Structures are given as C-alpha cells and as structure tokens.
C-alpha cells in the first residue's frame, strides 16, 4: 500500500470504553430484572444501554431469534453469527440516518428484532408477515432491499456518494459475507469504491462458510488473513504507518484494542484496491467491535474495510455443529434441534434431477456439472459426490458459471450449468452473448422455477421462460412431472446442437412412477394427455396436474376438454397448436411464469398463422403482473388464478358463463 493513500489514522483509544471497563456490570445496580430486550424497542433505546450490558442483550436477542425461527422456519445460522455485530453497529452508529445495508439480507433477523419489528418476528416469511430479507417498504431501518447476494457494496457506495453530493455527512455501512464476497459484482464495487474517496464502511463478515463450505482462491486468501499468517508479515507495515503519521503507540490502550491495532494490515488485496483495511477482529467480542467501530465512525474519511471473524450459528449448539444444515431450516425443536419434516409423498424435483444426472454421467464421461455455491440446493451435490473431478462449485458467481460452462462446451464437454431460475437472471448477458450467439451446447437445468413460497418475490422463478425463449436457437423445456424431468435430463444429454434448458419447481414431484432411465424426447414435440372436443388446455410445466383436475370439473359441466403438455416453449409444437386451435372452441395456455413466455409465443404463432381469425377464444394464464408476496405456494396459485378453480373460471369466462361452485355453470 502506498503511504500517500492513507486517508486517516485510527485513534485506538476509546475513552468511554476505557472508563466502562473499570466499572462493574451496570445491570447489577441500575437495570430492572426484566429482560433487557424489553426495554429496547428501537436502536435509540439500545444506545442508552451500557456497553457492559451488551453481552446480556446479545444473549436475549439470540434466544428470541432461536425461538422465533423454531416456529417459522427460515435462515438461522447467518443471523446467529451477527448478533454482536448488529448490536454494536446500532449502538455506535446513528441508524436509520446512518445507512446499514445487509448483503443478501438473510442475516437480518436480529436487526429486525432491534428495529421495531420484534412484535412481528414470529410472522417471518408467513403470508402478510415480515419478509425474510431486508425490505425498504417494511422499515426505515432497511435502506436497501436484498436477497440476491453481493449487492451491498455497490448500493452502499451509491448512498455514500449520494450523501456527499447532497452535502450530508452520514455513515454508510455495508455488511457482506465471505461467500458473497466471491461474486464479481462485489469486486466491481470494491474497484469503484477504492477509486472514489467516498465515506463507505464495508464490514466483511467472515464465518468461513457460504451455504456450503466456501470455495475458491478468495476464500483461501481470507482464511490466511484470518489465521494471522498474513498478518505477521504486515505488522511491520502497521508500525510504519503509525510512525509515518507521527503518532507514537499509546501504551494505555486496552489489550483488545491493541489486538485490533496489531492486526492493521498493509498490502492486503483490499488495501491495494484503496481501502483502509482493519482486522481481522473478533466479531463476537464487544471489546473488539465497539472501539474499532467508534474509531472508524470518528476518524474515517475514505473507504474502510473491517474484516470481522464470526461463527455461523453462534450460540446454538446444533447450528454451530452443522453450519450448512442450519443455514436455512424448517420449524424445529429448540431443545433437540430436530427439524420438522413433512413426510414427502414423492421425491423432490431437485433430487430426481441430481440422481438422473449422476445416472447419465455414468454413461457419458463428457458430462460435467457446474453450480454457483448451491450444490445441495440444485441437486449437484450428488454429482459432486459421485464424480468430484467433473463437478465444479464456482462460488457465488452465476455470470462466471455460465461462461465457464460455455468454455467447457467449446472443448466438447456437456456442461450442465445448474442455477435456480432467479439467480440465472444474473448470468443473462452471458447466456445471450457467450452461449446462445455462439450456439454452444450448454445445458441449463433450472430449479425453483415458479413460486417458491416463503422466500417471496426475490426468489420466485418468474422470468426464465420469457428471457430464454426469446433467444434464437435456444431450446426451452418445462417438466410436467418428475418422470418428464428424467426424460429432459436425458434429452439434454443427447442434444448437442445448441443451448438447451429445462425448468422444474421447488418441492416434491406429483408422485408418478419414475422410469428406469429417461427417454430422449423429440425436440419441439408436445403430447396430448387427455382428448376432448370443445375446450383445449395447453400446459407448459407442472400446472398440468391442476389442468387435469380442472378438466374433470369442465367435463362434469358438460364441456369436453382436451389437455396437452407442451413440453417445449421453444421450438413450439406447431402441429399440436394448429390441431388444438382448429378443433376446439376455447384454447387456454397455462404456465408458472411471467407474461412474455410460453403463452405469448403461442399467441404470436396463432396470430401469424391466422388461427385467430375464425373466432377461436384464447386465454393465456400467466403469473399476474405484480410482485407476489410470500405465502404458501397453494395460496399463491389461487391468487394468481393458476389453480384448478382459476382454470375453470377462465374457461367459463371465455364461454361467457359464470361459475357457481366447481363443476357447475350457468
């Protein structure tokens, strides 16, 4: 690090802290016996709490959070790991005027408890309840909404620059995890922040975990910094800095502060990027956190990065012991840690995909698997176990994952780049520019397509059909059930002429029998599942189940109904669509995706072919044009009109009839 780059000196003496250390814990004499947390509704109350009572407050926040999540399910480990950090930040900084941004936002439950939302904390992720992430509409203490990772430094930098442009002096603090730091977007923001002299505080919350153990060189680098090996080499630099700035080391500083100062590093990657880099410090110790944060608050001018080491799941033994399994949990028993699991009726789509890929990989050694930090979520964990040398966890790096897959495809491999629908959004330019334009045979298994329930609109897989089916040469499939998914895995293995995708939802399959091995489907060919003559329902994906139920109701009402499974949104099965259009009075398309997807392509075809010219009544059922809030998927389907009743209602509407209960019409 160049000395001219030093923008400020951390004065490692904190008078309040020094004084307080000499006294007894305040709670012994001055605080009521009621839980301290009851007195803290907002950060302003927290600022009145004596430093020495903060560990007690931390215990209470932890207990409150564990109890709440045991009832709602949700993200557990990440929040438990930042209890002290969250308290310390609200204690030292003047939130909400000072801006606090949580990356991903899945660790914000302690923050919600401390910012006026404790009374609703047991509604987390429920219909009409608190969001599981930060959300601007929910609280002035959430200055930026999140859920997708690695956005916090960019957003924070924008706020810091905005404050400067507006002539306001305020602190902006972005908390980002070591996993999220692996994404390109975080590096882009660091690069920009280092060049601007904005007053931005980045807190790197290093718990040495992503959802799964972190991968990559960055993670290894942080581990080296945290282990102190890199620190030894730069300690001298710390001394030099102190000398350069003309301050002698104050012998009266506390041991903890000494520790923090001792770890001031020079020449780290962050310093080279223009950040003043402090740490690693112990993120569970108020003795470390408070003086460092106060000094940064009072003395920082340019961008600062504080490297804080925490433990995921801290304070709850089951979560400490298995940070991956307690990253996100179902409801659980607080005493035993045992999570409630509904007995599944069928295997999940994720596991069917994982098993099918492993099976196919046994026949074809050109198959490789790629995940962006979600080995278990995508089912690629199975591939990782069976074929570790052909499976790559690239970290939270969807853009890279896609282009990496493209590179593998140029070498004759068959990459399965497994990314959730919502996260594939981040790699879209790579899908267009690196894969589709070059016609490279990258396979995109797309999990979490459609509604995801409790995670709400940030995680819903709404747009993949729309953004993929618009690309020339892209094959776009959706599985109607788990057997179809198996066929689509096999089809994707066999298809080498260009990119191909197949989508499937979160959760368990419909319970159909699985074939021994998937079949190779004919590209661009759908199938008739049930034949009728008046109404045709053309389904793309797993809504097929409800279409068949709706058909029963329609038949009961005297409306002979055909149900077809399109399988492909691209290429469309023109012959099938022509046949349905010519021989039925009503044609309904249905998909669990936004407007612009399958139904739009069908309408485009019908219009172009003149099939709408003779009175065919067409209705296209898609996700409504709103950000659908969290609820159970069934409630969401009903709200969207994509369930059995919604389909029946749409058919009756098209025919000018009114529904009077299921199965009857007037």
Ligand X SMILES: Cc1ncc(C[n+]2csc(CCOP(=O)(O)OP(=O)(O)O)c2C)c(N)n1
- Any idea which residues carry the catalytic annotation? 312, 398, 426
Check binding of 375 to ligand X (CB under 6 A): no
Spatial CA neighbour of 542 closest among 487, 591, 500, 577: 591
Among all chains, which residue has been given the structure tokens 């956190």? 289
279 vs 532, beta carbon nearer ligand X: 279
Check binding of 66 to ligand X (CB under 6 A): no
CA–CA separation, 428 vs 437, rounded Å?
12
CA–CA separation, 608 vs 105, rounded Å?
46
> Which run of H or of E encompasses 371?
strand 367-371
174 vs 207, beta carbon nearer ligand X: 207
Binding mask 293-312 for ligand X (x = CB under 6 A): -------------------x
Q: Which of 102-110, 519-527, 576-584, 593-601 is the region at the interface with ligand X (rule: CB under 6 A)?
A: 102-110
Check binding of 207 to ligand X (CB under 6 A): yes
To ligand X, the closest distance from the beta carbon of 207 in angstroms equals 5
Per residue in 489-524, is it b (16+ CB within 10 Å) or e — as a string?
bbbbbbbeebbbbbbbbbbbbbeeebeeebeebebb
106 vs 570, beta carbon nearer ligand X: 106
DSSP state of 122: G
CA–CA separation, 338 vs 322, rounded Å?
12
Check binding of 373 to ligand X (CB under 6 A): yes
Q: Residue 78 phi/psi, 5° resolution?
A: -65, -45
84 vs 398, beta carbon nearer ligand X: 398
To ligand X, the closest distance from the beta carbon of 632 in angstroms equals 21
Check binding of 189 to ligand X (CB under 6 A): no
210 vs 600, beta carbon nearer ligand X: 210
Q: Which of 59-67, 111-119, 207-215, 439-447 is the region at the interface with ligand X (rule: CB under 6 A)?
A: 207-215
CA–CA separation, 222 vs 206, rounded Å?
8
Check binding of 155 to ligand X (CB under 6 A): no
Spatial CA neighbour of 485 closest among 377, 359, 572, 382: 359
DSSP state of 628: P
Q: Which of 18-26, 145-153, 167-175, 611-619 is the region at the interface with ligand X (rule: CB under 6 A)?
A: 145-153
Residues 571-590 that bind ligand X (CB under 6 A): none
Check binding of 40 to ligand X (CB under 6 A): no
350 vs 539, beta carbon nearer ligand X: 350
CA–CA separation, 551 vs 526, rounded Å?
18
400 vs 490, beta carbon nearer ligand X: 400
Q: For residue 324, with 0-12 CB atoms within 10 Å meaning exposed, 13-18 middle and 19 or more buried, which class applies?
A: middle
Choose which of 117, 125, 148, 644 interacts with ligand X (CB under 6 A): 148
Joined together, the tokens standing for residue 474 give 């892209």
CA–CA separation, 242 vs 72, rounded Å?
50
Q: How far from chain centre, in Å, is Cα 335?
A: 29
Choose which of 73, 132, 145, 177 interacts with ligand X (CB under 6 A): 177
Joined together, the tokens standing for residue 599 give 């139904």
Residues 376-405 that bind ligand X (CB under 6 A): 396, 398
Between CA 160 and CA 167, with CA 163 as vertex, the angle to 5 degrees is: 140
To ligand X, the closest distance from the beta carbon of 107 in angstroms equals 5
Choose which of 104, 160, 234, 241 interacts with ligand X (CB under 6 A): 104
Q: Which of 9-17, 205-213, 297-305, 546-554 is the region at the interface with ligand X (rule: CB under 6 A)?
A: 205-213
To ligand X, the closest distance from the beta carbon of 405 in angstroms equals 16
DSSP state of 123: G
* Contacts of residue 420, Cβ cutoff 8 Å, sequence gap at least 6: 374, 377, 378, 446, 447, 448, 459, 461
Choose which of 426, 487, 584, 639 interacts with ligand X (CB under 6 A): 426
* Contacts of residue 577, Cβ cutoff 8 Å, sequence gap at least 6: 538, 602, 605, 606, 611
Size of the site for ligand X (CB under 6 A): 23
* Residue number closest to ligand X, CB atom: 177
Choose which of 209, 308, 368, 488 interacts with ligand X (CB under 6 A): 209
> Which run of H or of E encompasses 280?
strand 276-282
Check binding of 190 to ligand X (CB under 6 A): no
Residues 534-573 that bind ligand X (CB under 6 A): none
319 vs 476, beta carbon nearer ligand X: 319
Q: Which residues bind ligand X (CB under 6 A)?
A: 78, 81, 104, 106-107, 147-149, 177-180, 207, 209-211, 312, 373-374, 396, 398, 423, 426
């Amino acid at each position: 690090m160049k000395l001219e780059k030093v923008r400020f000196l951390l004065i490692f003496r904190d008078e309040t802290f020094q004084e307080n250390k000499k006294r007894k814990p305040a709670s012994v004499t001055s605080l009521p016996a009621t839980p301290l947390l009851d007195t803290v509704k907002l950060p302003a109350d927290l600022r009145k709490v004596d430093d020495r009572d903060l560990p007690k407050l931390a215990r209470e926040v932890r207990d409150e959070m564990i109890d709440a999540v045991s009832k709602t399910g949700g993200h557990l480990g990440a929040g438990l790991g930042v209890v002290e950090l969250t308290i310390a930040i609200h204690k030292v900084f003047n939130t909400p005027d000072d801006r606090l941004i949580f990356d991903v936002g899945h660790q914000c439950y302690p923050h919600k408890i401390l910012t006026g939302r404790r009374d609703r904390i047991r509604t987390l992720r429920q219909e009409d309840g608190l969001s599981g992430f930060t959300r601007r509409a929910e609280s002035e203490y959430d200055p930026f909404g999140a859920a997708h990772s690695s956005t916090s430094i960019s957003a924070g930098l924008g706020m810091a620059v905005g404050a400067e442009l507006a002539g306001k002096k305020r602190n902006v603090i972005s908390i980002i995890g070591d996993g999220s730091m692996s994404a390109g977007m975080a590096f882009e923001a660091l690069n920009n922040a280092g060049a601007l002299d904005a007053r931005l505080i980045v807190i790197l919350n290093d718990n040495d975990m992503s959802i799964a153990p972190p991968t990559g060189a960055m993670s290894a680098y942080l581990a080296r910094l945290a282990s102190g090996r890199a620190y030894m080499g730069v300690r001298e630099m710390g001394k030099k800095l102190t000398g350069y700035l003309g301050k002698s080391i104050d012998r009266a500083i506390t041991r903890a502060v000494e520790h923090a100062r001792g770890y001031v590093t020079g020449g780290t990657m962050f310093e080279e990027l223009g950040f003043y880099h402090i740490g690693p410090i112990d993120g569970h110790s108020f003795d470390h956190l408070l003086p460092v944060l106060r000094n940064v608050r009072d003395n920082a001018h340019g961008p600062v990065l504080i490297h804080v080491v925490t433990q995921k799941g801290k304070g709850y033994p089951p979560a400490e012991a298995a940070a991956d399994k307690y990253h996100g949990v179902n409801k659980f028993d607080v005493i035993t840690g045992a999570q409630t699991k509904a007995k599944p009726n069928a295997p999940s789509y994720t596991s069917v995909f994982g098993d099918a890929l492993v099976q196919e990989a046994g026949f074809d050694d050109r198959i490789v698997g790629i995940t962006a930090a979600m080995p278990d979520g995508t089912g690629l964990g199975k591939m990782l176990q069976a074929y570790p040398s052909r499976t790559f966890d690239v970290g939270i790096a969807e853009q890279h994952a896609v282009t990496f897959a493209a590179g593998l495809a140029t070498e004759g491999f068959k990459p399965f780049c497994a990314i959730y629908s919502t996260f594939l959004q981040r790699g879209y330019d790579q899908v267009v520019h690196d894969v589709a334009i070059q016609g490279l045979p990258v396979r995109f298994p797309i999990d979490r397509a459609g509604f995801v329930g409790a995670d709400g609109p940030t995680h819903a897989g709404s747009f993949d059909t729309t953004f993929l089916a618009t690309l020339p040469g892209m094959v776009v499939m959706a599985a109607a059930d788990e057997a179809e998914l198996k066929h689509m895995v096999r089809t994707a293995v066999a298809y080498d002429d260009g990119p191909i995708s197949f989508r499937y939802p979160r959760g368990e399959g419909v319970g159909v029998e699985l074939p021994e091995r998937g079949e190779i489907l004919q590209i661009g060919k759908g199938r008739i599942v049930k034949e009728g003559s008046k109404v045709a329902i053309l389904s793309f994906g797993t809504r097929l189940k409800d279409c068949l139920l709706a058909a029963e109701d329609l038949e009961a009402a005297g409306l002979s109904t055909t149900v077809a499974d399109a399988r492909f949104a691209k290429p469309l099965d023109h012959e099938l669509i022509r046949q349905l259009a010519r021989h039925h009075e009503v044609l309904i398309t249905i998909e669990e995706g936004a407007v612009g997807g399958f139904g739009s392509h069908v309408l485009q075809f019908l219009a172009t072919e003149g099939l709408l010219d003779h009175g065919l009544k067409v209705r296209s059922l898609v996700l409504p044009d709103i950000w659908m809030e969290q609820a159970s998927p069934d409630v969401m389907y009903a709200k969207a009109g994509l369930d059995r009743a919604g389909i029946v209602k749409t058919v009756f509407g098209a025919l000018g009839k009114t529904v009077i209960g299921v199965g009857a019409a007037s």
